[in-house]
């Protein structure tokens, strides 16, 4: 077809400086995605994600369109995609990971209690 070229061919025609700029921009873009882009990058359909979340496909579509949601909802979606949600506060001098949002606080407390009980029994 006229006017169609493989991306690899187009990239090969670019100057080394242009290739470097394009690679840098691609890397930056891959670090910032909305949920739908992330799902597609993970090669998941809305239906597959819905099955993992035990909800309907329409609910996944609604979640992906939200600009405001509970952190617990976001955490469930990220876990269903195989990831881990990390909340980081960024300051000029350093970053701080907020621990409240790792493994669910209730689950972490229960695990610590089980460990203490097992240690006493031993």
Q: Best-predicted range by mean pLDDT among 26-30, 39-43, 76-80, 100-104?
A: 76-80
pLDDT digits (tens, 9 = 90+) for 5-54: 787 788 788 888 988 887 777 776 667 899 999 999 899 999 999 999 99
Which of 52, 98, 96, 37 lies closest to 71, judged by CA? 98
The answer to whether 73 and 63 are in contact (CB under 8 A) is yes
The answer to whether 63 and 35 are in contact (CB under 8 A) is yes
pTM of the complete model: 0.62
Domain 32-121 falls under CATH 1.10.260.40: yes
């Amino acid at each position: 077809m006229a006017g169609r070229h493989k991306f690899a061919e187009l990239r090969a025609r670019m100057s080394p400086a242009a290739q470097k700029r394009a690679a840098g921009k691609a890397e930056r873009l891959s670090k910032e995605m909305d949920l739908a882009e992330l799902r597609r990058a993970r090669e998941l359909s809305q239906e597959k994600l819905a099955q993992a979340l035990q909800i309907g496909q329409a609910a996944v579509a609604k979640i992906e369109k939200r600009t405001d949601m509970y952190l617990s909802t976001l955490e469930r979606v990220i876990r269903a995609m195989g990831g881990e949600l990390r909340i980081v506060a960024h300051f000029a001098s350093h970053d701080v990971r907020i621990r409240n949002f790792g493994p669910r606080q209730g689950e972490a407390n229960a695990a610590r209690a089980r460990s203490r009980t097992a240690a006493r029994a031993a």
